[in-house]
Amino acid sequence: MTEKLVIIGNGMAPGRMLEHLFEAAPGRYEVTIFNAEPRVNYDRIMLSPVLSGEKTFEEIVIHGDGWYIANGVTLYKGHKIVAIDRAGKTVTSDKGVTESYDKLVVATGSVPFIIPVPGSDLPGVITYRDLDDVNAMLLAAQSRDKAVVIGGGLLGLEAAAGLKERDMDVTVLHVMPTLMERQLDPAAGYLLQKAVEARGIKVITKADTRAILGDKRVTGVALKDGRVIPASLVVMAVGIRPNATLAKEAGLEVRRGIVVDPSMQTSDPSVLALGECVEVEGRTYGLVAPLYQMARVAAENLAGAPEARFVHSETPTKLKVTGIDLYSVGDFADGDDREEIVLRDASAGIYKRVVLKDDRIIGAVLFGETADGAWFADLQKKQTDISAMRDTLIFGQALQGGTSADPLAAVAALADDAEICGCNGVCKGTIVSAITSKGLTSLDGVRAHTKASASCGNCTPLVEKLMTLTLGDSYNPATVQPVCPCTTLGHGEVRRLIKAKRLKTIPAVMQELEWKTSCGCAKCRPALNYYLVADWPDEYADDYQSRFINERAHANIQKNGTYSVVPRMWGGVTSARELRAIADVVDKFAIPTVKVTGGQRIDMLGIKKEDLPAVWADLGQAGFVSGHAYAKGLRTVKTCVGTDWCRFGTQDSTGLGIRIEKFMWGSWTPAKVKMAVSGCPRNCAEATCKDVGVICVDSGFEIHFAGAAGLDIKGTEVLGLVKTEDEALEVIVALVQMYREQGRYLERIYKWAKRIGTDEIRKQVLENTARRQEYFDRFVFSQKFAQIDPWAERVSGKDKHEFRPMAAVPFPQAAE
């Protein structure tokens, strides 16, 4: 019989618990979740990249609305539970909803600590725990004013770095002599302070806050030594406490947190608890790895295996600030019963310290070079006797035995249970098993199936070494192939840094990302131009000189130096007037060849370059715009006649194709995009080999994507079925916008889909309706700025957002 499971809280720990539970005991529970936040489950450890601009909220969502629907979960968003009736086995929310339970899981998380000083309740003083806090900081950052972050721990430094990326003047106040004193020794804390200050962030240590100043709003922070730090925003990041008030009011045993045994069982046999709100064997936890272990244990308990136990282990600390490599694990305090091994390289900014007790590692601190962090952590966890490698230990795993070794040998030597990804608790064996059993060949595939390297990214080098070790020569790490010889960075890293550093010109990108050449090359400039157009549509002015000749000339160059011109025919439909206009142009300019294309249009070949402006002027007078047969953008939407004429047609395929084409034409994409709409499953428009295709059926519109019919031949993947034409348009637009934002330059949709994973794409644009709408809205926003459209030219002297068709203005590249 199905039992009723109620969960209070919708954070990362209960979300992971449900993943395990649905796998271990599918259908056993009818699940209801009450979430105090008005949104779905998301990756809280990635809030810092959202603040800095490296990621969007949509990219850190773990479970979208579609996931809850697919798993039959009832989710109450914005419902805070105010009462637990243990006798009646019910919970009640502040919105008046009461739900009964057979089993209850409390996962109320933590609350930020607010230092009790005057002014701490002023507007402009915020904490840093959830998306609402990030949104408040983003709003404040628009002022480009001064910000003070109180707290030099992990969260405080990540908040400071994010606000600095948003162009605020940031000061960090830390009461202790060195930063992150709980995770770092003084030497590493000193190096960290230098690295933070090098980013333009001021750091004041031994800073004891006396008061927060202001009348109606914060104006500054006063220190006990008399100094006053001006600020319009103050971020409190001084620590967290388990949120156990609700459990205490319900009569559950509470000390520092909700007391649970190692099976996550509370003092009530019907109630479990997990996450930052609990205390297990006298300890509370705030890092994600132990919370995920709790999730697995709780799931096994609920699935009928109460023998599962939570086991404490030291969790490594890593700072999620781009460009700062830091890793620490265990106990590294001084003591008479321990010894240390230290390596310093001042010129390279490297510091390594390993603390030993009885020839076993009890702690390690790494700064500047952290590749051996997982190895040191594994030795510490297993309490391995290191006496045989004592002399070479500090040099890392690759140099054990006194000689340089293949770096893959170091990874091969790691045990299967060695943790690779601390954020998601993924061990080596899990990654290797996924690679071999699922045939994974890309880093993105490993991320999609195991979550390793999908969060902060610090473990990416280790994951890539595991892939090389497992796949051998068949692994081609395209994700780390440089864009071109001008840089060592790959496409993914360039795209990420453009957004993270808010780079909005090609020279800015080349300067900040340390390009090796002064002006780039024919390979990197078009890529950078596309990324800037896609990321800053309302701010970046498209640089036509960084485009290929076909895009600059609005025509395809042929082998003899002449050009071909393809005017757009919406959905392949034309008229006598249009055909006469084309015939007149052919006669007037003595165009030698006229050909019907596979995309249901007419191609005029053999046009001299000097005639192109006049050809386009004549075509423009007839109402033609460019068909973009040359573009990295939408080229054609092929259609059949559908219900208008065909006795087999189920929907108006011609009308939908024309609607899609008119809505989306002119949108730059990473590579060419071809579409088709077939009016019935007979598929006369060949929709199942296109980048995006639609098969019309009696019940609606079956959307396909990721097909290819060129050098590679590939049938499409089925995205899903939608009922209405409006929904079909919305899904297709969202799909293309997701591709525009994530695709690498010249990467076709089918290659992007293979890299990202079709399940992930389906989740984001079909199942998650809120995210789909956000993609759709961003596409519409970008289309407002015709500077991204290859058929348009800025109108001189007009408002910067006014444009008109290219055919109506002088051809801008006629002199080239």
Binding site for siroheme, residues?
Answer: 684
Q: Nearest-CA neighbor of 67 among 774, 754, 760, 776?
A: 760
Residues present in the chain in total:
816
Q: What is the 3-state secondary structure (H, E, C) of 490-526?
A: EHHHHHHHHHHCCCCCHHHHHHHCCCCCCCCCCCHHH
Residues 244, 248, 251, 252: what is their CA dihedral angle, to the nearest 10 degrees?
Answer: 30
Tokens encoding 89: 């086995």
Q: Is 90 helix (H, G, I), strand (E, B) or coil?
A: strand
Nearest-angstrom CA–CA distance, 670 and 657: 22
From residue 721, alpha-carbon distances to 141, 365, 461, 702, 759 in Å are: 42, 53, 39, 4, 15
Neighbour count for residue 44 (Cβ, 10 Å): 18
What angle in degrees, to the nearest 10, is found between the helix axes of 131-141 and 154-165?
A: 40
Q: Is 550 helix (H, G, I), strand (E, B) or coil?
A: helix
Burial class (CB in 10 A: 0-12, 13-18, 19+), 728: buried
Binding residue ranges: 640, 646, 680, 684
From residue 151, alpha-carbon distances to 191, 263, 564 in Å are: 17, 34, 63
Nearest-angstrom CA–CA distance, 229 and 149: 11
Phi, psi of 810 (to 5 degrees): -55, 140
Buried b (16+ CB within 10 A) or exposed e, 83-118: ebeeeebebbbeeeeebebebbbbbbbbbbeeeeee
Q: Would residue 406 be called left, alpha or beta, if left means φ above 0 and alpha means ψ between -120 and 50 degrees?
A: beta
Binding residue ranges for [4Fe-4S] cluster: 640, 646, 680, 684
What angle in degrees, to the nearest 10, is found between the helix axes of 653-664 and 725-742?
A: 40
Q: Which residues contact residue 744 at a Cβ distance below 8 angstroms, ignoring those fewer than 6 apart? A: 491, 492, 495, 527, 670, 752
Q: Which residues contact residue 360 at a Cβ distance below 8 angstroms, ignoring those fewer than 6 apart? A: 379, 380, 383, 384, 385, 386
DSSP string for 455-498: SS-TTHHHHHHHHHHHHGGG---GGGSBSSTT-S-BHHHHHHHH
Tokens encoding 173: 């106040």
Torsion sign, CA atoms 244, 248, 250, 252: positive
Q: Which residues contact residue 362 at a Cβ distance below 8 angstroms, ignoring those fewer than 6 apart? A: 330, 331, 332, 338, 355, 356, 380
Nearest-angstrom CA–CA distance, 498 and 482: 15
